[in-house]
Amino acid sequence: MNEVNTKPLKERSATRNLVSHLMKDRLAIIGLILVILVTSSAILAPMIVPHNPNKINVRNRLKGPSVENWLGTDQLGRDVFSRVIVGSRIALQVALVSIAIAGSCGLLLGMMAGYGSKKLDGILIILFDTIRSFPTIMFALAVVTLVGPSLNTIILVVIVTSIPVYGRIVRTQTQALKHNEFILAEKAMGASKLRILGVHILPNVIGPLLIIASMDIPVVVTIEAGLSFLGLGVRPPTASWGSILNDGYAFIRNTPWLVIAGGAPLILTTLGFTFFGEALRDVFDPKLRQEVL
Amino acid sequence: MKNLLEIEKVKIRFRTKGMLKAVIDRDKDPYIEAVCGASLTIKQGETFALVGESGAGKTTLARSIIGLVTPSQGSIRYRDQELMGLDDKSFKPLKRDIAMMFQDPVGCLSPRLSVRSIITEPFKIHGLPINDVTKEATKLLDMVGLPASFLNSFPYQLSGGQARRVGMARALALSPKLIIADEPTAGLDVSIQGEILNLMYRLQHELNISFLIITHNLAVVRHTSDRMAIMYLGRFVETGPTDEIFAQPSHPYTKVLLSSSPEPDPDAPRNRVMPIGEIPSLINRPSGCEFHTRCIYVEDRCRRDVPPNRNVGLDHDMTCFKSE
Amino acid sequence: MTGEGQKQTSENVLSIKDLSVNFNTEDGFIQALRRVSIDIPPRQIVGLVGESGCGKSTIINSILKLLSNNAEITNGSIHLQNEDILMMTPTQLRAIRGKRVSVIFQDPMTSLNPALSIARQMTDIQYRDQINKSTKRQRAIDMLTRVGIPDAQKRLKSYPHQFSGGMRQRIAIAMALLMKPDLLIADEPTTALDATLQIQIIELLKVLQKEFRCSVLFVSHHLGLVADFCDQVVVMYAGEVVESGDVRDIFHRAAHPYTKRLLECDPARIKTKTRILPTIPGNIPDLVNLSNDCIFKERCHIKDDKCPLTIAPLRELTPGHFVQCHLSQAGESQ
């Protein structure tokens, strides 16, 4: 056989491209650092808390930052810093669990809607849009009234309200892919619907979903904080950033540090995950351009 | 020797409007006929070319052979087995024998799979175990002249020519009897077109694979196919041995097509039959002989009546009123 | 048209001299064009032939000054009559684009604005002329009729998407020639069209070129159309001009090994039916790490011990027939 055009055109591996690209993006690095900070705090929480976050010491209440208590103490003398660290665990637990479940359900339903029959698509779309037309807060209040406030309530609310959003995103992506030639090729070879969805469509639609989902983490954290602030979330004495904010709001004239302690981690988490999510978008788009859309 | 593939009077139509719009527009027949009565046979070990311009219906017809499109009428038989009306389960084993190479060389490869996964995909689809995936994949790449270093590449890293070869390797995976190649040379430079065509010839010769080539490139057809059919607006206007058709084109459209590809020689004789006008849309088909709007030999009856299918040589048919 | 004491360059409508263009990419500097020289005399049709990576698009973008941001013109000049395009200010460029130099692209929708009616687009182009609107409209109607659009007056208010692909290309040609440019650049104008349409568009261009007496730079990979349409041909390979000359010099007496092989590979040129088609084995070289050697040396089939394998000087074999090769002699006619 005569010599053939054998050199692959773009030799650099995708991973090398990705890493070098990310290194150039300062915001991405800041985001990554913040994400690592919050995540490690959440994971290592019980090991790194300097004090017992629930230990009450009323004599020491509402003190400002000191060597003993880096962020001071709250109205019951509990160490605020320790509570913030525990709060990170709650925040991420809620966020990751609810987004993971909502994402998986949204992925499945979205693919079914995008690839399945028109009837199935129609039913799912009506379902999605009905849920989306409910204001989240109203829905949360309704659920809380029925089931009582708790971490699981928040998780449930977030899951139910997020599934339609993720579902629609995945549906659109799936529809766009459905008519691509490589899907046609798979059909021509006899691939089953399940195989096409699982092996060929899923990896190509999961990208945008992951990006949106990662940018939703701070949103969910904020929702949790908000609901806890309103007293509809975690029950005392559990430390959540929202409940710290709630306390801080009540005692703001005594010390501003409670509000700062509750608010600052929220801001940092939001910024961190947002920058990181933007960097993820770059990961999935031009460099590894898979010509999906 | 019995025929490998027999297509008989196949008709394929597509809906142009949804039910609601059709009612609003009072359109009783919201369809276009992409293929109106196509018949051809392909023997084992032969290369058949399907030629035509846009709207001819050649890709649609090819896709109906592997079940991507369902004809509304007619019969498609593979080795005497009727494919029309076959359910997915019964059709699937036949897809080991009939493989397709698509027009977009990179686009027909799953973007997130490596070349290794792509070319062994047919095994996985049909549940055929492979002892050593890398070994099998290397063997397939070798058949198409690509080194094993390509196993870990992804489609976006491949050039057009390389991607076509990968598509061919995939088509060869389960030792098919028939490969349908849709525009195998489109987008390839002239200096490397030969690579893919020579490969196809070698495979035909060594493995007795039949090829159905769909193309608009007449020069390629002349060298690589044994028999050919020319399509216009979904109908076959001339069918027969390639050599004969090039030597003595019978149908006016064939003559026009052959004239439309000038030879790369400034002093080549220009006994051209110039085409008139443009291809009509499938929505407003001309009456009678559908080529009459562009034909220099047009007569009154051409506008009124549909011309019959006439035999002008051994296995050589055409549809035209005009007699030579 | 030519001033006194001007050099030969002012006789040509377009004169590209020693043009070199680099692209700054993540993988390094791609030397897309190297020392390219092309002359387009008045009223001549010059074909630019070459395969992927030869630099055809870069040349067109250089002429139109539409190169991307990471491009750098490291050497050379492009003279439109006797003015260097590369030295022009944006105002001067706007004055020549559409008036002295026009372009038609492969996809007519690149030239046509989908949101504006044909009437609007064709009168807008005439903005430089101080005539009234109805005269402009009439000119547009005349031009559309000229290119074969039936019922031009009625169709003037239609939009591009209401025309077929072939009609759109005709309209693009009408727009390009409306201002009677000195140079028409046609970048693969028929590649996206059906074969029967291609030939009609080429015939149309032939007729219009004679009537408007403009020069044409016809970029195409279709050797048959180039042989049919062009007076002169320039052959490019991997960013260099390897051969140029009269159309018969190239097609009958090709001198450069690449040109010879390219012609041999065209299935339309092979008289007797062959199942095994010739190819040029190998790839174009890496344009980032270029040595100072002959660009075609890896794939050359005539190189021998006598060849120094370095970049050859451009030699004039016969008047007007230039080739960049140490060993070449004019080939026998096919």
**What φ, ψ does residue C94 adopt, rounded to 5°?**
-65, -30
> d(Cα B55, Cα B62) in Å, to the nearest integer?
14
Provide the pLDDT for residue B146: 92
Please, which residues bridge with residue C68 across strands? none
Structure tokens at B201: 């010839």
Contact A3 C27 (CB under 8 A): no
Mean pLDDT across the stretch C108-129? 87
Percent of chain C with pLDDT over 90: 52
Provide the pLDDT for residue B277: 83
Contact A185 B111 (CB under 8 A): no
- With tokens 């030939």, the residue in question is C199
Chain A residues closer than 8 Å to C279 by CB: 2
Provide the pLDDT for residue A287: 45
Chain A residues near any Cβ of chain C (below 8 Å) = 2-7, 12
Chain B residues closer than 8 Å to C232 by CB: none
**What φ, ψ does residue C323 adopt, rounded to 5°?**
-145, 145
CATH number at residue A98: 1.10.3720.10
Which of C51, C247, C274 minimises the CB distance to B190? C51
Position A31 in a domain: no
pLDDT tens per residue across span B245-278? 999 899 999 999 988 888 899 998 877 788 888 8
Position A53 in a domain: yes
Contact A188 B95 (CB under 8 A): yes
**Domains in chain B: boundaries:** 5-44+56-86+226-319
Three-state secondary-structure class, residue C83: strand
Looking at the domain that runs over C8-245, which CATH code has it been given?
3.40.50.300
Please give the span between the terminal C-alpha atoms of chain B, in angstroms, as a whole number: 33
Q: Is the pLDDT of residue C333 over 60?
A: no
User: Which DSSP string corresponds to A105-126?
Assistant: HHHHHHHHHHHS-HHHHHHHHH
ipTM: 0.89
Chain C residues closer than 8 Å to B185 by CB: none
Three-state secondary-structure class, residue B263: coil
How many C-alpha atoms does B282 have within 13 Å on its Cβ side? 21
Provide the pLDDT for residue A17: 62
Give the residue numbers spanning the domain of A185.
49-270
Instruction: Please report, for residues B190, B205, C57, the alpha-carbon distance to residue B222 in angstroms, rounded to integers and kept in the order given.
Output: 15, 18, 31
pTM of this structure: 0.85
Which of C225, C265, C273 minimises the CB distance to B222? C273
Q: What is the CA radius of gyration of chain C?
A: 21
Angle at A235 between CA A234 and CA A236, to 5 degrees: 120
Chain C residues closer than 8 Å to B275 by CB: 196-197, 199-200
Closest-CA distance, B138 to chain A, in angstroms, reads: 14
Position A24 in a domain: no
Provide the pLDDT for residue C3: 38
Report the b/e string of A140-175 with b at 16+ CB within 10 A. beebbeeeebebebbbbbbbbbbbbbbbbbbbbbbe
Chain C residues closer than 8 Å to B190 by CB: 51, 221, 223, 262, 265-266
pLDDT tens per residue across span B187-237? 888 888 888 999 999 999 999 999 999 998 888 999 999 999 999 999 999
> d(Cα C204, Cα A80) in Å, to the nearest integer?
83
Q: What is the largest CA-CA distance in chain B?
A: 67
Domain count, chain A: 1
